[in-house]
Amino acid sequence: MRSRESACTATRSAGGAAMASKQRKPAASKKRPTAGQRRARADMCTLSAAWNNLTEEQRQAWGEEAHTNRRGGLAAHSRRRSGRRLYVKVNSRRLALGQDLLAWPPGPESLRPTPIVQFMITNNGGRIALKVSVSHGQAEGIMVSSWHPVNAGVMVWKKFVRICLLPPPVGGMSDFTREFTAKYGVPPVGKKVFIRIQQMNDYVGSIVQTVSAVVPAEPSGNGKAKGL
């Protein structure tokens, strides 16, 4: 009997120690929000407060526009069936452009032609440059989003973070090398860079294009990339 009691006591002690160990286990530290996440949260707070300050007539106008506007196809329409969603969609772009918020839905004058863009990466003596040319539509108001360079074999990419508004073109090319490298560094030779292009001045549309380019080796074959 005593041996059984001793065994039970030892088992309970071991179980208690295990429970205490679990209880003392430090909680996993939460990741700090990124600058982009903080900006998105601040924008949402601003837009939520602005939506609440609209008149009922204005909110109803946004609701009617959300149900009648089908630009961008049925999928885009289904994602913004509420006036509030459309209001946030339109005015989040205006916040990105530093413009005043719209109290009423935008009219046809807000529509912009779909830009036709070409993305290229050059390697001139080891100096990497990322450039975009716009052959149709307006370069003004185009937001460039991107991500860390990936392997050249990656064919589809869906995760993006805003980099900058497309700089004014010089000689037909807009160079956003400094903005990209400030966030992700100089992309290595042989890696692929995906970018997403969106015309932010087209408030109602959902025109988004994704293009990519591989960082080429310099003519000498030296694969080392230099900074700016």
pLDDT (mean) for 31-46: 81
pLDDT exceeds cutoff 90 at 10: no
Strands (E), 42-160: 116-124, 127-136, 142-146
pLDDT averaged over every residue in the chain:
80
In this structure, of 6-10, 36-40, 87-91, 115-119, the range with the lowest mean pLDDT score is 6-10
Q: Which candidate, 218, 172, 221, 163, places its Cα nearest to that of 193?
A: 163
15 pLDDT band, cuts 50/70/90, is low
**Length of the chain as a residue count:** 228
pLDDT (mean) for 199-207: 71
DSSP result, 67-128: HH--TTHHHHHHHT-SHHHHHHHHHHHHHHTTPPPPSS---GGG--PPPEEEEEEEEETTEE
pLDDT tens profile 68-108: 765 544 444 445 478 999 899 888 888 887 888 989 988 77
Helix, coil or strand: residue 149: coil
Domain spanning 116-214, CATH class: mainly beta
Nearest-10 crossing angle of helices 35-52, 83-96: 130
Give yes or no for a contact between 84 and 56, defined as CB atoms under 8 angstroms apart. Answer: no
The model's pTM: 0.64
Write down the pLDDT at residue 57.
94
Range(s) within the chain of domains with CATH label 2.60.40: 116-214
